[in-house]
Chains A and B, each alone.
Chain A
Amino acid sequence: MKSFTYERATSPAEAAAKAAKTPGARFIAGGTNLLDLMKLEIETPPHLIDVNGLGLDKIEATDDGGLRIGALVRNTDLAADDRVRRDYGVLSRALLAGASGQLRNKATTAGNLLQRTRCPYFYDTAQACNKRAPGSGCSAIGGFSRQHAVVGASTACIATHPSDMAVAMRVLDAQVETVKPDGKTRRIKIADFHKLPGTTPHIETALQTGEFITAVTLPKPIGGSHVYHKIRDRASYAFALVSVAAVIQPDGTGRVALGGVAHKPWRVEKAETDLPKGAKAVMAKLMADATPTPENEFKITLVERTLSAALMDARA
C-alpha cells in the first residue's frame, strides 16, 4: 500500500472540491473494496477523503413517493429498512445475497455501486489487464474466464460487475445523485451510470473527476412480486455466476435485470415485453449478441433457467 494523506470532509460539495484538487484522490467510506485494492497496489491513491461524517446515512421518503437512500447508508441498514423490505423487496434480497454480514455492516450504498470487478487477472498485478493498466492487454481472454461476461464485452475486457445491489437498482430504475467539484448537482439514471468496457474498460462509470455520490433515489414503488435469484457454486459468500432481479406484476408483465453476465447490471427493456410468454421468449432479445467463451457459455442456459425459476417464484 502506497502512502497517502487523509482528511475528513465536512460537506459533500467540499469533498468533491477537495477530490478535484488532488489528482488520484479517492473518497473512502466503508473501504471494503478500496482497501482490498490498495493493499495490492491496484489502487494507489495519494490522498483519501473520509466521507463517513457527512450525515449521508439516512433513508428518506421523497416527494414523489419514492425513497432517497443516502450514499453512506450501510448495506445492512438498507436491506433491513422496513420500507425497502415492503416496497422494494428485490433490493433487500439482492443486498442480502451479497458479501457477508460483516461486509454488509461496513459497505455503503455508493461504495457498492462503485465496486470494481473481481476478475482474477485484474487482481493479479503481474498479469495484463486493460482495466488496471490500460493498453497492457486482457489476460482473461483466452485465460480462465468461467466467471466472465457473456454480453456487452469487448476485445479489451470481459470483466463483470460484481454488485448484486446494483442489479436490483437497475430493475427499479434508480437514479444516482451526485455533486460535482463546482458544487453543481446532477442525477444519473442507473442505466447510464455503469459503462460497458468498449476500448476504455478503465472508465467504469459516468462520474467525472471529483464527482461525489450523495444518494441513490428510487421511484415510487411499482408493486408486483419481487424476486432476486443469485446462482453461485457455494451457498453463500460468493460472487454470482448469474443473478436475476425481477419484478413481476400479476398480469405477467414486469422487469428483469441480470448480474454476473456483463460489465454492468444487464437489462434490455425491449426484451421485457416478452416476459408474459416466459423465460425462453425473453432470451433472444435479452441475450442478443452474446459472446461467451467456451468456459462460460453455460451462463446463457443458466440465465434462461434462473429467469424461469424467478418467474415461477414470482407467480407462486
Chain B
Amino acid sequence: MKFDTPATTNPIDQLKVVGKPTDRIDGPLKTTGMAPYAYEQHEAAPNAAYGYVVGATIAKGTIAALDLSKAESAPGVITIVTADTAGKLDKGNFNTAKLLGGPEIEHYHQAIALVVAETLEQARSAAGLIKVRYTKAKGAHDLEAIRTTATRHKDSKDSLVGDFAGAFSAAPVQLDVTYRTPDHAHAMMEPHASIASWEDDQLTLWTANQMIDWGRGDVAKTLGIPKDNVRLISPYIGGGFGGKLFVRADAILAALGSRQAKRPVKVALPRSFMFNNTPHRPATIQRIRIGASKDGKISAIGHENWSGDLAGGGPEDATQQTKFLYAGANRLITTRLAVLDLPEGNAMRAPGEAPGLMALEIAIDEMAEKLGLDPIKFRVINDTQVDPENPARPFSQRQLIKCLHTGADNFGWDKRGAPGKTRDGRWLTGMGVAAAFRNNLTMKSAARVKLDNKGVVTVETDMTDIGTGTYTIIAQTAAEMMGVGLDKVVVKLGDSSFPVSAGSGGQWGANSSTAGVYAACVKLREMIAKSQKFDPAKTTFADGKVTSGRKSIDLGKAAGASGMVAEDFIEFGDLGKTHQQSTFGAHFVEVGVNEVTAEIRIRRMLAVCAAGRILNPKSARSQVIGAMTMGAGAALMEDLVIDKRHGFFVNHDLAGYEVPVHADIPHQEVIFLDETDPMSSPMKAKGVGELGICGVGAAIANAVYNATAVRVRHYPITLDKLLKDMPQIA
C-alpha cells in the first residue's frame, strides 16, 4: 500500500481498541522473568560456548605483536578469534570503525580478539592472558582544540536565508552565546549480546538489535556471505536508545567464534567495555545568535554547530530543530564536523534535536529575559505555521502554542518568580520551560497477518519492541482492523524470517510499523470479504464476525480450515515533502537548588505533547516520562569524560557514568493534546519516544537559572558550576 494522499476515515478511527490505555501484552512475561533476551536462549541454542571480548587499550595505532600462546593453552579454551583468523572482513554500511580491529586500531576498546571457552569463567580468565604490543599513533581527542579544522559533511546542508549578518547587527536586541553538550552513553540496561549458531552456511544470530533488516544486511556484508544465509532473531531487547540500531562486535564475534568453534557461541559485552567499544552521542559546541526587535520579533537567527567523529563518520547535527522551530527572516544555520580519534559517534535518542534543543531552548530563555518577555510569550510571538526556509510548505500539524499554554495552566507557570527570588527553606526554587520538537520520520514497513479457523489473528513482522510497547500497539492495530479482541491476537516480532518492517529508531517505529500492519490487514479483509463474495467496501469486521448487509459469519469460519494469510507493506509518498511533519511539545520543570551546597533536585516535571494520534496512551506516556528521565540525566549528570591525553572515555562503567536513579526523579506528568495527523499515515499517528527527551534538558537548565540566577551553558549542570555564584553563607 502506498500512502500518498492524506488519510480519510478508516477502521482505525473506530478507536475501539486503538487509542485506549492498554496494559502491555508482553507484561506478564517481562514481569515474571519469562521473556528471553538475546543471551538467554538456552533452549533454542543449547550447548553454547562462551566468548569473551578483548579490547584495544590505545586510541589509535597498530598492533605490533599479539601473543595468544598462554590464552590458547588455558583451560577450557576452544578457539580464539582475531583479525588473523577471521579472514577477510568487510565493514557494515552502518559502522564507521571496524568491529574487529587489528592490525590497525581505530579507537580504545575496539575489539581485537574473542576468546571462546567452555565456560564464561574460563573465557574471561584466558582473555586476560593475551599479550598485546602496540605501536601507538598520535590522534586528535579534543573537539575544542580542532574545532577550526571542521568541515561541512557531504550530507549537511547549510541553511542560509536572507542576510543574517546584516539583520543580526541591525537588531536592537541581540544574543550571542555558546553552549556545550558532552558525549553521552546510551547505557541501556541489557548489554549488547548475541548468540551465534551455524548450520552449514546458514547463520542464526539471536542478537539485541533494533533494526533487524539493517542488521541482517550488515552481518552478511561484514562476513562476506549472502544476506539470505543470515537469520536474526531479536524478540526482546533490553533497551537500545539508538545504541542497538547497528550490528556491533558481539554479533560479528559470536558469528566468527561459532564458525571456528563449530558450535553455538554466546557473547555479551562487559559493561566496562561498552562505553568505548560501542557508539555514543557525540559532544557538540553550539554558537547561537538571535537578533530581535524590542517587541520580541526575531529578525535573525543563527545556529552554528560543531561535533567530531572518526574519519568517515557523521555529525551530531544539533541544528535540525532550529530550521523549523521559530520564525525569522534571516537565518544562518550550519553544522560542521571535525575528525576525532575517539570511539565512534552515532545516533542516540533524538540525535541532533536532543542536544540541539538543550542549547537553543536556553538561548530562547536568555533572549526572552533580555527582552523582558515571558519565555512562553516570546515563543508564541515567533511561532510559525510554515517551514521558515520555504514558506510555501506548511506544517501538517503544529500545536506548539497550545502545548505551551496547556502546560502553563496545568503547571502553575504564573507562580514563577524572578530569578533567585523564590525559596523553600534552604532551597532556592525555580521553574523552567522549553519547547519540544522532533521531526516525524516515516519508513517503509511490511507485515504478514494470518487468520486461523479459530478466529485468531497472528501478526508477523521483523519489527522490534525495545521497550516502546510495539507488541501492544501492533496487537491493538490488528484487533481494531479485524474486529477482534486483544485476546484473539498474537504478535510475533524481531525475526528476519518475517516481513521487513520499519524497525525501531528515530521515533518512526510506532507509526510506520502499525501502518504496515494496517496495510496487511486491509489486504486480509479484502481476501476474507471476497471469499464470502461480499463487497469489500461494504463489509465490516466487528465482534469476531465479518458482516455485509444481513449476512454475517464468524471470522474463524470465514478463514476456512487452513486459514488465510495476507502480507503487505506501507510505503510513503511525498506528503512528508509537501508538508513538514513534526511532533511538538512543551516541558515544564521545577527544581530546588540548595543555597548552601548547590545540590540540584528536580521537584516536578510536566510534558505536554502533540504528536498525532496516541495509539496507546499508557505506553506512550511511559515513553515520554522515560525520555524526560534520560533528559534529566543529560541536564544534570551525564558526561562521558575524555582523557584528552590518551583518547578514551575514562568513566566507563555505571558507577562513573552516572544516569538518574529513582531518587532523582519526581512524579512525572504527561498530557497528550488531542490530535490526528492525516498526513503521517493511515494511523494518523506520529512518534513520542524521542519527543520526550527534546527540550527537557533546557527546561531543567532554565529552571536552575530561575532558581539561582546563575546561567550554566556547559552541560551537565553540576553543582561545581553553580557554587562560586551561589549566595554567600554565614
A–B contact via C-beta, under 8 angstroms: yes
Given known A-B contacts A234-B663, A238-B658, A120 and B719 have beta carbons under 8 A apart = no
Q: Select the stretch in A19-27, A73-81, A300-308 that faces chain B.
A: A300-308
Tell whether B44 is near chain A: CB-to-CB under 8 Å. Answer: no
Pick the contact of A234: B643, B658, B730 (CB < 8 A): B658
Q: Does B661 contact A236, Cβ atoms closer than 8 Å? A: yes
Taking CB atoms, residues of chain B closer than 8 Å to A301 are 723-724
- Given the complex of chains A and B, what is the CA–CA distance between A287 and B594 in angstroms? 23
Q: Does B723 contact A298, Cβ atoms closer than 8 Å? A: yes
Q: Per-position contact with A for B505-531: 1 when CB-CB < 8 Å, else 0?
A: 000000000000000000000000000
Taking CB atoms, residues of chain A closer than 8 Å to B664 are 234-236
Taking CB atoms, residues of chain B closer than 8 Å to A312 are 426, 596
A211 to chain B, nearest CB (A): 29
Tell whether B204 is near chain A: CB-to-CB under 8 Å. Answer: no
Given known A-B contacts A234-B658, A234-B660, A120 and B650 have beta carbons under 8 A apart = yes
Q: Does B597 contact A231, Cβ atoms closer than 8 Å? A: yes
- Given the complex of chains A and B, what is the CA–CA distance between A139 and B664 in angstroms? 31
Given known A-B contacts A1-B121, A40-B272, A121 and B650 have beta carbons under 8 A apart = yes
Judged by DSSP, the binding face of B is: loop
Q: Does B125 contact A1, Cβ atoms closer than 8 Å? A: yes
Tell whether B667 is near chain A: CB-to-CB under 8 Å. Answer: no
Question: Would you list which residues of chain A between 264 and 316 have a CB under 8 Å from chain B?
Answer: 278-279, 298, 301-302, 304-306, 308-309, 312
Q: Does A308 contact B730, Cβ atoms closer than 8 Å? A: yes
- Given the complex of chains A and B, what is the CA–CA distance between A2 and B660 in angstroms? 34
- Given the complex of chains A and B, what is the CA–CA distance between A186 and B368 in angstroms? 68
Q: Does A302 contact B645, Cβ atoms closer than 8 Å? A: no
Q: Does B637 contact A233, Cβ atoms closer than 8 Å? A: yes
Taking CB atoms, residues of chain B closer than 8 Å to A120 are 650-653, 656
Taking CB atoms, residues of chain B closer than 8 Å to A146 are 641, 720
Tell whether A124 is near chain B: CB-to-CB under 8 Å. Answer: yes
Given known A-B contacts A126-B57, A143-B643, A234 and B661 have beta carbons under 8 A apart = yes
Tell whether A6 is near chain B: CB-to-CB under 8 Å. Answer: no
Tell whether A142 is near chain B: CB-to-CB under 8 Å. Answer: yes
Q: Does A302 contact B663, Cβ atoms closer than 8 Å? A: no
A52 to chain B, nearest CB (A): 22
Tell whether B662 is near chain A: CB-to-CB under 8 Å. Answer: yes
Tell whether A41 is near chain B: CB-to-CB under 8 Å. Answer: yes
Given known A-B contacts A237-B661, A305-B596, A308-B596, A143 and B645 have beta carbons under 8 A apart = yes
Q: Does B645 contact A142, Cβ atoms closer than 8 Å? A: yes
Given known A-B contacts A143-B645, A144-B650, A233 and B597 have beta carbons under 8 A apart = no
- Given the complex of chains A and B, what is the CA–CA distance between A302 and B121 in angstroms? 43
Taking CB atoms, residues of chain B closer than 8 Å to A305 are 596-598, 723, 726, 729
Question: Would you list which residues of chain A between 211 and 260 have a CB under 8 Å from chain B?
Answer: 229, 231, 233-239, 241
Tell whether B537 is near chain A: CB-to-CB under 8 Å. Answer: no
Tell whether B186 is near chain A: CB-to-CB under 8 Å. Answer: no
- Given the complex of chains A and B, what is the CA–CA distance between A306 and B595 in angstroms? 11
- Given the complex of chains A and B, what is the CA–CA distance between A306 and B426 in angstroms? 12
Taking CB atoms, residues of chain A closer than 8 Å to B651 are 120, 144
- Given the complex of chains A and B, what is the CA–CA distance between A231 and B597 in angstroms? 8
Tell whether B46 is near chain A: CB-to-CB under 8 Å. Answer: no
- Given the complex of chains A and B, what is the CA–CA distance between A233 and B660 in angstroms? 10
Interface centre among B125, B594, B663, B729 (most CB of A within 10 A): B729
B455 to chain A, nearest CB (A): 47
Tell whether B374 is near chain A: CB-to-CB under 8 Å. Answer: no
Task: Name the residue on A nearest B657 (C-beta).
Answer: A120
Tell whether B229 is near chain A: CB-to-CB under 8 Å. Answer: no
Q: Does A298 contact B720, Cβ atoms closer than 8 Å? A: yes
Taking CB atoms, residues of chain B closer than 8 Å to A118 are 655-656
Q: Does B637 contact A2, Cβ atoms closer than 8 Å? A: no
Q: Does B596 contact A41, Cβ atoms closer than 8 Å? A: no
Given known A-B contacts A1-B124, A305-B596, A235 and B601 have beta carbons under 8 A apart = yes
Q: Does B720 contact A235, Cβ atoms closer than 8 Å? A: no
Q: Per-position contact with A for B110-133: 1 when CB-CB < 8 Å, else 0?
A: 000000000001001100100000
Interface centre among B124, B594, B651, B720 (most CB of A within 10 A): B720
Tell whether B547 is near chain A: CB-to-CB under 8 Å. Answer: no
- Given the complex of chains A and B, what is the CA–CA distance between A276 and B643 in angstroms? 43
Q: Does A124 contact B652, Cβ atoms closer than 8 Å? A: yes
- Given the complex of chains A and B, what is the CA–CA distance between A238 and B637 in angstroms? 11
Taking CB atoms, residues of chain B closer than 8 Å to A143 are 643, 645-646, 650
Q: Does B426 contact A309, Cβ atoms closer than 8 Å? A: yes
Question: Would you list which residues of chain B between 620 and 639 have a CB under 8 Å from chain A?
Answer: 636-637
Q: Does A233 contact B718, Cβ atoms closer than 8 Å? A: yes
- Given the complex of chains A and B, what is the CA–CA distance between A143 and B650 in angstroms? 9
Tell whether B144 is near chain A: CB-to-CB under 8 Å. Answer: no
Tell whether A32 is near chain B: CB-to-CB under 8 Å. Answer: no
Q: Does A306 contact B663, Cβ atoms closer than 8 Å? A: no
Tell whether B599 is near chain A: CB-to-CB under 8 Å. Answer: yes
A236 to chain B, nearest CB (A): 4
Given known A-B contacts A1-B124, A235-B664, A144 and B57 have beta carbons under 8 A apart = no
Given known A-B contacts A143-B643, A308-B596, A39 and B652 have beta carbons under 8 A apart = no
Given known A-B contacts A234-B663, A237-B661, A309 and B719 have beta carbons under 8 A apart = no
Tell whether A102 is near chain B: CB-to-CB under 8 Å. Answer: no
Task: Name the residue on B nearest A297 (C-beta).
Answer: B720
Given known A-B contacts A306-B597, A309-B597, A144 and B125 have beta carbons under 8 A apart = no
Taking CB atoms, residues of chain B closer than 8 Å to A40 are 272
Taking CB atoms, residues of chain A closer than 8 Å to B272 are 40, 123-124
Q: Does A39 contact B720, Cβ atoms closer than 8 Å? A: no
Tell whether A209 is near chain B: CB-to-CB under 8 Å. Answer: no
Question: Would you list which residues of chain A between 123 and 162 have a CB under 8 Å from chain B?
Answer: 123-124, 126-127, 139, 142-144, 146
Tell whether A5 is near chain B: CB-to-CB under 8 Å. Answer: no
Tell whether A3 is near chain B: CB-to-CB under 8 Å. Answer: yes
Q: Does A309 contact B723, Cβ atoms closer than 8 Å? A: no
Q: Does A41 contact B128, Cβ atoms closer than 8 Å? A: yes
Q: Per-position contact with A for B418-431: 1 when CB-CB < 8 Å, else 0?
A: 00000000100000
Task: Name the residue on A nearest B109 (C-beta).
Answer: A126
A245 to chain B, nearest CB (A): 15
- Given the complex of chains A and B, what is the CA–CA distance between A87 and B652 in angstroms? 40
Taking CB atoms, residues of chain A closer than 8 Å to B653 are 120, 123
Given known A-B contacts A126-B57, A142-B645, A233 and B719 have beta carbons under 8 A apart = yes
B403 to chain A, nearest CB (A): 29
Question: Would you list which residues of chain B between 646 and 704 have a CB under 8 Å from chain A?
Answer: 646, 650-653, 655-656, 658, 660-664
Interface centre among B426, B643, B645, B662 (most CB of A within 10 A): B643
Taking CB atoms, residues of chain A closer than 8 Å to B426 are 309, 312
- Given the complex of chains A and B, what is the CA–CA distance between A241 and B722 in angstroms? 15
- Given the complex of chains A and B, what is the CA–CA distance between A142 and B598 in angstroms? 26
Pick the contact of A236: B125, B128, B662, B724 (CB < 8 A): B662
Q: Does A302 contact B655, Cβ atoms closer than 8 Å? A: no
- Given the complex of chains A and B, what is the CA–CA distance between A41 and B128 in angstroms? 8
Q: Does B658 contact A309, Cβ atoms closer than 8 Å? A: no
B95 to chain A, nearest CB (A): 23
Task: Name the residue on A nearest B724 (C-beta).
Answer: A301
Question: Would you list which residues of chain B between 476 and 499 have a CB under 8 Å from chain A?
Answer: none
Taking CB atoms, residues of chain B closer than 8 Å to A233 are 636-637, 658, 716, 718-719
Taking CB atoms, residues of chain B closer than 8 Å to A235 are 601, 661, 663-664
**Those 8 A-B pairs whose CB atoms lie nearest each other, nearest first:** A126-B57, A235-B663, A298-B720, A236-B663, A309-B596, A144-B650, A233-B637, A144-B641
Beyond known contacts A1-B121, A234-B636, A305-B729: 17 more, CB 8 A cutoff:
A2-B128, A3-B125, A120-B650, A121-B650, A123-B656, A126-B57, A143-B650, A144-B651, A146-B641, A231-B597, A233-B719, A238-B655, A301-B724, A302-B597, A302-B720, A305-B596, A309-B594
In the complex, 20 of the A-B residue pairs with CB atoms within 8 angstroms, ordered by the A residue number, are A40-B272, A123-B653, A139-B646, A142-B645, A144-B643, A146-B720, A229-B597, A233-B718, A234-B658, A234-B660, A236-B662, A236-B664, A241-B720, A278-B730, A298-B724, A301-B723, A304-B729, A305-B598, A305-B726, A309-B597
Binding site for A on B (CB under 8 A): 57, 121, 124-125, 128, 272, 426, 594, 596-599, 601, 636-637, 641, 643, 645-646, 650-653, 655-656, 658, 660-664, 716, 718-720, 723-724, 726, 729-730
